[in-house]
Amino acid sequence: MMAGAGAAVPEWRPSPNHGTRRGGARPDMVVLHYTGMTDCAAAIERLCDPSAEVSAHYAIDLGGRVLALVPEEARAWHAGVAGWGGVSDVNSHSIGIEIVNPGHELGYPPFAEPQMAALERLLGDIVARHAIRPERVLGHACVAPGRKRDPGEKFDWRRLALLGLSIWLDPAPGPDGNLPADAEAFRREARRFGYPVAAGQGWDAALLAVWQAFAMRFLPAAAAAHAAPTRAGLRHLERLAARWPAAAAGQAEAD
Question: Domain ranges in the chain?
Answer: 11-162, 183-245
Alpha-carbon distances of 167 from 51, 76, 153, 212, 225, rounded to whole Å: 36, 24, 15, 18, 23
Percent of the chain, pLDDT > 90?
89
The pLDDT tens digits of the residues spanning 57-90 come to 999 999 999 999 999 999 999 999 999 999 999 9
Q: Would you say residue 175 has pLDDT above 60?
A: yes
Question: Which pLDDT band holds residue 172 (cuts at 50, 70, 90)?
Answer: confident
Q: Report the distance separating Cα 1 and Cα 196, nearest Å.
A: 30
Q: Report the distance separating Cα 50 and Cα 8, nearest Å.
A: 28
DSSP H or E segment with residue 114: helix 113-130
Closest CA to 119 of 76, 80, 165, 88: 165
User: Residue 6: its pLDDT value, please?
Assistant: 47
Residue 72 appears among annotated catalytic residues:
no
Percent of the chain, pLDDT > 70?
93
- Round the CA-based radius of gyration of the chain to a whole number and report it: 18
| pLDDT, averaged across the chain | 93
**25-51 average pLDDT score:** 97
Q: Report the distance separating Cα 38 and Cα 42, nearest Å.
A: 7
What would the CATH number be for the domain defined by 11-162? 3.40.80.10
Alpha-carbon distances of 154 from 16, 30, 103, rounded to whole Å: 31, 19, 10
Q: Report the distance separating Cα 33 and Cα 89, nearest Å.
A: 17
Q: Are 79 and 90 in contact (CB under 8 A)?
A: yes
Q: Report the distance separating Cα 111 and Cα 98, nearest Å.
A: 12
- Of these residues, 45, 73, 98, 105, which one is catalytic? 98
Q: Any idea which of 3-12, 128-137, 197-206, 231-240 has the lowest mean pLDDT?
A: 3-12
Closest CA to 147 of 225, 215, 69, 212: 212
DSSP H or E segment with residue 33: strand 29-34
User: Residue 174: its pLDDT value, please?
Assistant: 77
The pLDDT tens digits of the residues spanning 123-161 come to 999 999 999 999 999 999 999 999 999 999 999 999 999
Cis ω before 27 (30° cut-off from 0):
no
| Residue 152 or 253, more confident | 152
